[in-house]
A and B are shown apart, each in its own frame.
Chain A
């Protein structure tokens, strides 16, 4: 195909309007997102998002790595929800292998995923409120997020890119007092959600900036590829955790919050309610935590424990084989989707039978959700763009990959 000559993105030729570049360094774009706005005074005539400033080429990198080296790569895509990326990748590879993982590892994965969802929503709530001008909420949210990151640090050794899940289970057993610490957090957290709600839900400034802003009908949202809380705020009762369960989510009792107004305020209410539901799932996971191994019994795939390596020759050989040559994955292809804080996160992996994936594609929720931004903002004011971007909750690492 001949190389297309790049066309000018915006060239209206109108006398009245002006082209305004919002971003890529604007603080309210939540990262490096450039919005080309064609403005008529204060209102927006047209909008074109320009992405790619954070493009890391991660899908290309996957093709040169072993499967077990894919987990730390997955961490670095959606950098506010690394555990969801890890889970999506591990589930996809386990589906390719036909591997069963033990019950304790499954419940641990759910527990970590819901803590991660809380932490991701807290960052969203804090920054979204800060964009609109509520400073205290930001400080409060980051106070609780710090607690969660400390829990992650205790379990995986790092605060953000924990690299804790493995194909076939988890990397390590949790520290002794870890469950008590999680329970301490989960017991006090509902009061904290009430604090955020006190600051925002009936705050007249907040409601005037968010109610009726960024409306889109449910059919439009679905047609343009939006998933997650934005779609649920439009009245579509769809959550992959409940409707297409994975990793044992069918054993948990939780409600899926749904609103109907489909504006920025409705998305705020849905996400705040999701914080409460996630906290309930965390408590259920703590109560029903089974005992047993955290790794599947698959010596060709899962690395042996260090103790075994020092006492058994077979374990040492397996370890050497997996680290140096990787493990072969039966040829085929899978698409495994999970419910990330932003919507449907899908991993499409094609295997040709070798230890390295032939092709990995990530269906990133933010990438699809971003398409709705232009439709939400055209005809509105520049100040509403800031509210709309915040309500979609994009993460640029997830958009650009």
Chain B
């Protein structure tokens, strides 16, 4: 499939049920949206993410009933530094959506484990490798690195070869 230019902005994507539902709930908290390579991305404000995931799960028009993945991208040195990325899957509708939250370096974000228990391991992994703090996470420990490891290896300012 040859590439087509991406569609950006809330207005041209208003007819998508995901965008419509979130904008109806809290228009101020949805700064931007994008449709690129047939994949819908919605940016969400930090304070709204847990509600947004729950809304998309429970609404009959969206039915995003599976949290496929939570991950993070480090845009060092630009500000805000991090983007936390949520991939949701709707099994009945056979659709996917990506939610993104921009986050400053020392920013904390609300955990979505109360909505999706599966976020437990995903968020622990982000905490381990990026150093992002999830508020309300039941068991926020390192998961892949040893407990006494210093630094967060997937940050862009951490050398690929390691410090040793």
Contacts and interface: CB of A to CB of B under 8 A. Distances in A.
Contact of A335 (B96, B106, B117): B96
Interface residues of A, number: 48
13 contacts: A1-B133, A51-B143, A52-B143, A55-B145, A222-B65, A225-B116, A225-B118, A333-B36, A334-B39, A335-B68, A337-B68, A359-B73, A359-B74
Contacts of A60: 153-154, 158, 160
B127 to A, nearest CB: 9
Interface string A128-156: 00000000000000000000000000000
Given A1-B133, A225-B68, 16 more contacts: A1-B106, A1-B108, A51-B144, A57-B153, A63-B160, A98-B1, A223-B116, A224-B117, A332-B6, A332-B37, A337-B96, A344-B89, A363-B68, A368-B121, A368-B122, A401-B144
A70 to B, nearest CB: 15
Report, nearest first, the 9 A-B pairs whose CB atoms are least far apart: A225-B118, A98-B3, A6-B147, A52-B144, A363-B69, A361-B71, A55-B144, A64-B160, A1-B133
Nearest to B4: A98
A98 to B, nearest CB: 4
SS of B interface (majority): loop
A61 interface: yes
B118 to A, nearest CB: 3
Interface in A1-50: 1, 3-4, 6-7, 9
B39 A335 contact: yes
B81 interface: no
B69 A52 contact: no
Given A332-B37, A363-B68, A52 B145 contact: yes
A322 B65 CA distance: 42
A335 B87 contact: yes
A53 to B, nearest CB: 9
Contacts of A244: 94
Interface of B: 1-3, 6, 36-37, 39, 41, 65-69, 71, 73-74, 85, 87, 89, 91, 94, 96, 98, 106, 108, 116-118, 120-122, 125, 129, 131-133, 140-148, 150, 153-154, 158, 160
Nearest to B126: A361
Contacts of A367: 121, 125
Contacts, number: 114
A344 B66 CA distance: 11
B96 A223 contact: no
A90 to B, nearest CB: 15
A370 interface: yes
A359 B160 CA distance: 13
Interface in A363-387: 363, 367-368, 370-371
A96 interface: yes
A238 interface: yes
Chain A CB within 10 A, most for which of B68, B122, B146 = B68
A31 to B, nearest CB: 14
Chain B CB within 10 A, most for which of A59, A98, A236, A359 = A359
A334 B144 contact: no
A277 B111 CA distance: 40
A400 B144 CA distance: 7
Contacts of B153: 57, 60
A59 B1 contact: no
Contacts of B140: 4
Interface string A210-251: 000000000000111100000000001010000110000000
A47 to B, nearest CB: 13
Contact of A222 (B66, B133, B143, B146): B66
A344 B88 CA distance: 12
Given A64-B160, A335-B98, A337-B68, A363 B87 contact: yes
A361 B66 contact: no
A96 B37 contact: yes
A400 B67 CA distance: 20
Given A55-B145, A64-B160, A348 B69 contact: yes
Interface string A52-95: 10010101110110000000000000000000000000000001
A346 interface: yes
A100 interface: yes
A61 B68 contact: no
B132 to A, nearest CB: 7
A6 B39 contact: no
A355 interface: no
A1 B160 contact: no
A370 B118 CA distance: 10
Contacts of A348: 69, 71, 85, 87
B161 to A, nearest CB: 9
Contacts of A61: 160
A361 B145 contact: no
A359 B74 CA distance: 8
Contacts of B116: 223, 225
Contact of B73 (A7, A334, A358): A358
